């Protein structure tokens, strides 16, 4: 289902830009102002529900931490299970992990080894608030597949089009971003 330009604008206008956070030169896209705006949050989630209800999904996997909010909301609306993909050291059971590069240094995310094991070749939608370089989402999609499931699409509220993240991730899975920033 296509999002009307009026609805897209309501979502876009609800996201706040914070200059120079967490460091100089970064414009941080603050989605807390989308979440506390009941109209924008509802339009967004209803759009995602309409779009994904025919995908025959088995799980939504959300990326730590803002991907949990949108991912878990959507999972509940679609009647699906939710799987958190967390920063290293937070998940209590046996995990598989994947490292990825940051601008300076490396980071690591993890998923429980049995997170998708109830369904063979489970169809998984990956969810986060924003894709920038794509490093996080790429590692997350790899983890979903390594855990025996199938990452069928990755969904973001915001895509930073001036970076190569979306293009790179498209080598691995389909990508949908609602608001594109050029
Ligand atoms: P990346 O791995 O470079 O695609 O970065 C994506 C992750 O970092 C996501 O989990 C985002 O929440 C966060 N992130 C990166 N850049 C921004 C930004 N400009 N505003 C808000 N979140 C960001």
pLDDT digits 0-9 by tens, 93-137? 999 999 999 878 899 999 999 999 999 999 999 999 999 999 999
pLDDT confidence of residue 85 = 98
Q: What is the pLDDT of residue 104?
A: 80
pLDDT at 98: 98
Does the C-beta of 173 come closer than 6 Å to ligand 1? no
Q: Would you state the structure tokens that stand for residue 69, as one six-digit string?
A: 């909010």
Query: What's the pLDDT score for residue 48?
Result: 98
User: 75: buried, middle or exposed (CB in 10 Å: 19+, 13-18, 0-12)?
Assistant: buried
Encoded tokens for 182: 């050029």
Is beta strand 59-63 parallel, antiparallel or unpaired with respect to 123-131? Answer: parallel
**Cβ atoms < 10 Å from Cβ of 14:** 20
**CA angle centred on 137, ends 1 and 22, rounded to 5°:** 105
List, in order, residues 6 or more apart from 4 with CB less than 8 Å away: none
Q: Which fold has domain 56-181?
A: Rossmann fold (3.40.50)
- Residues in the chain predicted with pLDDT less than 50, given as ranges, are none
The whole-model pTM stands at 0.97
Which numbered atom of ligand 1 lies nearest the CA of 31? Answer: 21
Alpha carbons 86 and 174: distance in angstroms, whole number: 22
**Minimal CA–CA distance to 101: which of 22, 168, 29, 148?**
168
Pairing of the two strands 59-63 and 27-30 = unpaired
The tokens describing 109, both together, are 């995310």
pLDDT the model gives residue 177: 98
Q: Which of 22, 71, 130 to mutate to test the pocket of ligand 1 (most atoms within 8 A of CB)?
A: 130
Q: Tokens standing for 25? A: 């030169």
What confidence score (pLDDT) does residue 102 get?
86
What pLDDT score was predicted for residue 178?
98
Catalytic residue among 66, 86, 98, 153: 66
- Residue with CA closest to ligand 1 atom 11: 130
Question: For this structure, is 123 an active site residue?
Answer: no
For residue 160, give the ligand 1 atom closest to its CA.
19
């Amino acid at each position: 289902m296509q999002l009307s330009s009026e609805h897209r604008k309501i979502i876009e206008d609800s996201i706040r830009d914070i200059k120079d956070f967490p460091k100089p030169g970064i414009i941080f896209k603050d989605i807390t102002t989308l979440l506390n705006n009941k109209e924008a949050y509802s339009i967004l989630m209803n759009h995602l529900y309409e779009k994904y209800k025919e995908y025959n999904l088995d799980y939504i996997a959300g990326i730590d931490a803002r991907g949990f909010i949108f991912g878990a909301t959507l999972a509940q609306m679609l009647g699906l299970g939710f799987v958190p993909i967390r920063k290293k050291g937070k998940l209590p059971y046996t995990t598989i992990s994947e490292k990825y590069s940051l601008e300076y240094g490396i980071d690591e995310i993890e998923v429980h080894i049995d997170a998708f094991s109830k369904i063979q070749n489970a169809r998984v939608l990956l969810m986060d608030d924003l894709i920038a370089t794509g490093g996080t989402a790429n590692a997350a999609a790899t983890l979903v597949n390594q855990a025996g499931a199938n990452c069928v699409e990755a969904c973001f509220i915001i895509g930073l089009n001036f970076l190569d993240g979306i293009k790179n991730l498209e080598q691995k899975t389909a990508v949908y971003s609602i608001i594109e920033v050029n």
